[in-house]
Amino acid sequence: MTPEKFLIVVDSSHSEHLALNRIINFAERQRHSDMCVHVFVGFEGDDVSMPDLPMEVVRGRNWLDELLAPLEASGVDFTAELFWTRDWEASIIGAARRMEAEMIVISQSSATNKTSIADSVWSLLRNSETPVLTIEPGAPAKRENILAAVNMQTADDEYDALNRKVLLHGQMLADFYDAKLHVVNAYFDSEDYPDRDKVKRIVDIDRQDIHVDMGKPEEIIAKVTENVQADLVVMGTMSRRGIRATLRRNTSEKIIENLTVDVLTLN
């Protein structure tokens, strides 16, 4: 079942709001009558590039009216909330829980001119119970090819369950958009070769659309994304602690940094 309740994160210090624009485009194209949007408008004051310097953000009623006007024109049922926080990640996760959001939408441009926002974004992606769609500046809004990134050779039950979730989400979105589903699986050596049949037992996909290649995941996934002209990559992150969390973070961050399309992350 495709998501119907969306939490859209808007940074009031920005002049362009890619996450909101993407969901407005979705609403106008789909005319999804059951769609509900909550716009979470705030300012991440702790993450300015020079925190010792004063920074003033002044926004009035006219700015808010202009921000929400396209959403109102789309006919979508929506609400808006203004917030100020020192814990950006926790505030977003809390708001998603309150409204029972099925997807959080943020913009990768939130990292502009900020030193620690990458850590905040990563923390959100890793800890959110709700899938997070990260909008990449300049990425197409269309959904013709969807790429699910998995690691099917894992022996870890948690990662195995995450692989299944990634594949099923990819299939669901491909069905909804009438898009083509591709799957990518990187591996490091011939003794660790992924089993394509494990993928086929979870989703209905042709073998030639399961792309298996040896190399670093961030390089292989970026290469396949370009080769199949994927508009959206679906991947998993895992909320871990200690050394395993650090290692997982480094791999996932490298993958996302190498992509120039929208990314949906799941836990």
pLDDT tens for each residue of 118-177: 577 888 888 899 999 999 888 888 899 999 999 999 888 988 999 999 999 999 999 988
Q: What is the pLDDT of residue 211?
A: 98
Residue 140 included in any domain: no
Arithmetic mean of pLDDT, 98-112: 80
Q: For residue range 28-74, what is the model confidence (pLDDT) as tens digits?
A: 766 556 889 999 998 755 444 445 544 666 788 898 999 999 888 88
Arithmetic mean of pLDDT, 187-201: 91
Arithmetic mean of pLDDT, 15-20: 88
CATH of the domain at 256: 3.40.50.12370
Owning domain of residue 216: 145-266
| Domain count within the chain | 2
Q: For residue range 213-259, what is the model confidence (pLDDT) as tens digits?
A: 999 999 999 999 999 999 999 999 875 544 444 445 567 888 888 89
Among 94, 117, 135, the domain-final residue is 135
Paired with 132 in beta bridges are 104, 265
Note whether 90 and 158 are same-domain residues.
Answer: no
Note whether 80 and 18 are same-domain residues.
Answer: yes
Note whether 241 and 153 are same-domain residues.
Answer: yes
